[in-house]
Structure 1
């Protein structure tokens, strides 16, 4: 029980620390409302569950050990984050619509479907091989001796994914509550610019940092 509580505590610290998942969820919420943010959070959680499954069967460890495969996924994931960041910066500099006061509510909510939001979250998470490093180094520390390693690692990874989903869902709901302010043209462009800059910076960091 103490080991599980320690896992919950460490996971909470990791999950609430802003990163690519948070930035992607924020952007989806701005473009598609609360539903879009929740769908992105679901995609991220599914991606984490896939990483947990890969860790449980040993595939994540093989990925970490294979430099070419690890680098391929790392660069693809970094490129995707940079791509999302460029889209956000383009929206900040050349918005699709201009308004005199508050942006039309249907404008930002009509360009990203729930499936697209889910896909963005899934690709963003699966394209981050650091999740493989993180899971292979974190989960075994909390697996009890003598238990089923596969079942335990998968269960811990699933718990982590559920916690991530709940936190990002809360994030999406909080942003949705202030959507009227965030939809004002000037504010919207500032937020898009900041989000795009963060996504590009995160993509560059993933691409350039060592394991």
Structure 2
């Protein structure tokens, strides 16, 4: 039976906490989504982003992530795809910045939430920095005498993602509440939505050139 030693778990959590709490690309993405779409948009984006992260954890645990991390071509492709998608979402937020001042009945709620969830998923699964983090950091806390290495990597990754969801959701809610306060004025909410779009575009462009050690 696979059981990660408690000392390894505690050490991993202590390392993961600052990495998760310090705002990185993932947090900035969710803040931008909350500013553009409101609290629920940010929370749903957080869940989609987490699902994408879980897929990365599974991939890393069973070796696929190692291929991406060690292949310059594969890493670069994923990096540019993720950046392009962030820029696309930012442009869409700018194009539809006035839509948030009109009635919500025009878009079915379920369809809108699924779309937001899928967009968050794409951003989460195309984040090469997360892949590199999982490949480089998770193995350091594996006990080779405790059982299946793959299972231990999977458990550590899922623990990290669970902690990340709590932190990311808190950031998304905080940004969403700020947006609601500005929403008392249609002009202010339009400006705020545009700001969220610009933030996503800058995040996408910046991810091409600036290395991040945080999420």
TM-score class, shorter-chain normalisation, is 0.7 to 0.9
1:133-144 equivalence runs, <5 A: 133-144=132-143
Q: Does 1:149 align with 2:149?
A: yes
Q: Distance in 2 between matches of 1:26 and 1:125?
A: 14
TM-score normalized by the length of structure 2: 0.81
TM-score normalized by the length of structure 1: 0.82
Q: Which residue of 2 aligns with 1:194?
A: 195
Q: Which residue of 1 aligns with 2:3?
A: none
1:20-59 equivalence runs, <5 A: 20-59=25-64
Q: Distance in 1 between matches of 2:145 and 2:67?
A: 23
Q: Distance in 2 between matches of 1:105 and 1:165?
A: 30
**What secondary structure is seen at the aligned counterpart in 1 of 2:144?**
coil
Unpaired runs of at least 5, structure 2: 1-5
Q: Which residue of 2 aligns with 1:163?
A: 163
Q: Distance in 2 between matches of 1:163 and 1:182?
A: 29
**188 and 157 in structure 1: CA distance in 2 versus 1, 3 angstrom threshold:** same
Q: Is the deviation greater in 42-51 or in 182-191?
A: 182-191
- The question of whether the paired residues in 1 share the 8 Å contact of 2:37 and 2:193 is answered with no
CA apart distance, 1:53: 0.9
Correspondent of 2:73 among 60, 68, 83: 68
Deviations 1:66-94 (A, max 9, x none): 222221111111100111122233345xx
Q: Which residue of 1 aligns with 2:88?
A: 83
Q: Distance in 2 between matches of 1:29 and 1:210?
A: 24
**41 and 180 in structure 1: CA distance in 2 versus 1, 3 angstrom threshold:** closer
Greater RCO (Cα-Cα under 8 Å, separation 6 or more): 2
